[in-house]
Amino acid sequence: MDQTDTAPASDAVDEPATCRTRRAGGRAARQAMRAAPLADDVRPIRPGMSGGQYQPLTESGVARIHEAALTALEEIGLADAPPSGVAILTNAGAVQGADGRIRFPRALVEDMLAVAARDITLCGQDPRHDLLLSGTRVHYGTAGAAVHMVDVGGRVYRDSTVQDLYDAARITETLDNVHFFQRPMVCRDIADNLEMDLNTIYACARGTSKHVGVSFTEASHIPPAMELIHLLAGGEDRWRARPFISNSNCFVVPPMKFATESCLVMEALIRAGMPILLLSAGQAGATAPASIAGAIVQAVAECLAGVVYVNAIAPGHPAVFGTWPFVSDLRTGAMSGGSGEQALLTAGCAQMHRFYGLPGGSAAGIADAKLPDMQAGWEQMCSNVMAGLAGLNMVYEAVGMHASLLGFCHESLILGDDLLGQAQRCVRGIEVTEDALSLDVMRSVCLEGPGHYLGHGQTLGLMQRDYVYPRLGDRTSPKEWVEKGRPDLVARAVARKHEILGGYFPAHVPAETDRAIRARFRIHLPQQAVGL
């Protein structure tokens, strides 16, 4: 949280000398209060605060979506399961029809929901970054598969690299309001898919001690990947005790088809002890129904099929109900991640994971804007706030994403920490207690005191515990802004990026572990790039 002072609006106008003197004492006290860091348990915002105040779906709407999803699974089913998946699902009670599609009786879905994992913990390499996915507890983080980096200085897009990925991870390590780091971009400078998968794991886990999410292109990559992960964890037993990496798995290709290779990846990783994000990413109007309710129905049906699949392999295996329907701009068919419809879709999906009592995740914070500008601000804030208010456990793609997921921006990631701070303050809501009603304070100030609350004990006590302040956002008066050289928000983010990347190298991976990894695998980041 930023400790830089910003003047109240009243300081910008001329006042009598007596008034200025009286208020100056209050301001000095406020400055002293803000200079002292708060303990984690009294900070105004923190990971895992409970949302759920916003419910775009009525109770009957939720029930109708559930019923429609069950009907879709029974009557339409899913195509293209791999042979191993067919065996797993039919042995559990699913039915393969003459058309090859796998259909799911309602009783089977209900049985698997009964054994599915709830209240799971996604571990960080550092236990202080553990994420408890329970109820309406909300966590924000990155995700995506952007193929470009946004160069804000040149206002151009370029291919993303493994260095960019590592830099994004270590920036995330410094950000209080970005709670996990799922790979947001593809390492386009690594042509070999196996080496790309392995270097993605290394760059993410080397750059941050927060929980990491990664993807795999082929099932054959899992054995070497797990060997690398076991080295990072200090052994297979330690990994299985605290799995700090999850698999973002697009196990379906909407509409209503299994992604054969991804299913094989999922099967292997379940056996390896890795948590799974069951990701259904249809696009309303293209690969999902154009209606918002219909897009949610299809995503729920596909993810329920995933719940059956996972729990038929390993009952109670940790999995996130990843309903991620996206939106099309129906004028062009292009994706519109920054739209109000996207925000509604994400919030509706949050209600469905609450209905099932399952850990849930969906996408928010996506900007269609190409640069971190005003359009990006309104697009990112709208869906992030609505996702949090709806009680979504894992808000993916919350920061840094531009051009409808095609571009990632380090500066936007940094600015997003401020944005998410404000979003989380909205999630926390308003506490109404006897003290908060403030009648005694009002009596004291109005009947006995100076006639203002600046410097009052309650004000000093709440200024850090109830209020969130931006680190880079500017709240100065126009006069102060001019005196400070008219600071530009993006320029401040650029400076902060250079400050972080110029000398901050997370050291949670021991040097001897790094040497063992480099002796076994071809790591594309040179040692000096990670501070060794």
Say what the pLDDT of residue 11 is.
Answer: 35
- Mutual angle of helices 83-92 and 292-313, in 10-degree steps: 90
To the nearest whole percent, how much of the chain has pLDDT over 90?
89
Say what the pLDDT of residue 449 is.
Answer: 86
Cα–chain-centroid distance for residue 8? 33
Q: By the 8 A CB rule, do 391 and 358 touch?
A: no
**CA neighbours within 13 Å on the CB side: how many for 66?**
17
How does pLDDT run across 307-333, given as a tens digit for each residue?
A: 999 999 999 999 999 999 999 988 998
Say what the pLDDT of residue 24 is.
Answer: 44
Q: What is the mean pLDDT of residues 302-307?
A: 98
**Structure confidence at residue 5 as a pLDDT band (50, 70, 90):** very low
Amino acid, single-letter form, for residue 163: Q
Say what the pLDDT of residue 442 is.
Answer: 96
Q: Degrees (nearest 5) of the Cα angle 419, 139, 348? A: 90
The Cα 55–Cα 347 span in angstroms is 7
Say what the pLDDT of residue 34 is.
Answer: 53
**Structure confidence at residue 15 as a pLDDT band (50, 70, 90):** very low
How does pLDDT run across 476-520, given as a tens digit for each residue?
A: 999 999 999 999 999 999 999 999 999 999 999 999 999 999 999
Sign of CA dihedral 306, 248, 209, 231: positive
Within 10 angstroms of residue 179's Cβ, the number of other Cβ atoms is: 26
The Cα 347–Cα 382 span in angstroms is 11
Q: What is the mean pLDDT of residues 19-42?
A: 54
How does pLDDT run across 33-83, given as a tens digit for each residue?
A: 555 566 777 789 999 999 999 999 999 999 999 999 999 999 999 999 999
Q: By the 8 A CB rule, do 247 and 221 touch?
A: no
The Cα 249–Cα 262 span in angstroms is 6
The reported pTM is 0.92
3-state class (DSSP) for residue 64? helix
Q: What is the mean pLDDT of residues 449-477?
A: 92
List of domains in the chain: 84-428 (3.20.20.480), 439-466 (no CATH)
How does pLDDT run across 342-387, given as a tens digit for each residue?
A: 999 999 999 999 999 999 999 999 999 999 999 999 999 999 999 9
3-state SS of 17-46 is HHHHHHHHHHHHHHHHHHHCCCCHHHCCCC
**Structure confidence at residue 427 as a pLDDT band (50, 70, 90):** very high
Q: What is the mean pLDDT of residues 239-253?
A: 98
Q: What residues contact residue 157 under an 8 Å CB cut-off, 6+ apart?
A: 148, 149, 150, 151, 370, 403, 406, 407
**Structure confidence at residue 26 as a pLDDT band (50, 70, 90):** low
Average pLDDT, the chain: 93
C-alpha distances out from residue 455 to 420, 459, 461, 468, 469, Å:
28, 6, 10, 18, 18
Bridge-based pairing state of the strands 245-249 and 211-214? parallel
Under DSSP, the state recorded for 504 is -
Asked whether the bond before 255 is cis by omega within 30 degrees of 0, the reply is yes
How does pLDDT run across 85-108, given as a tens digit for each residue?
A: 999 999 999 999 999 999 999 999
Q: What is the mean pLDDT of residues 126-132?
A: 97
Say what the pLDDT of residue 292 is.
Answer: 96
C-alpha radius of gyration, the chain, whole number:
25
Say what the pLDDT of residue 489 is.
Answer: 95
Say what the pLDDT of residue 22 is.
Answer: 39
**Structure confidence at residue 418 as a pLDDT band (50, 70, 90):** very high
Amino acid, single-letter form, for residue 344: L
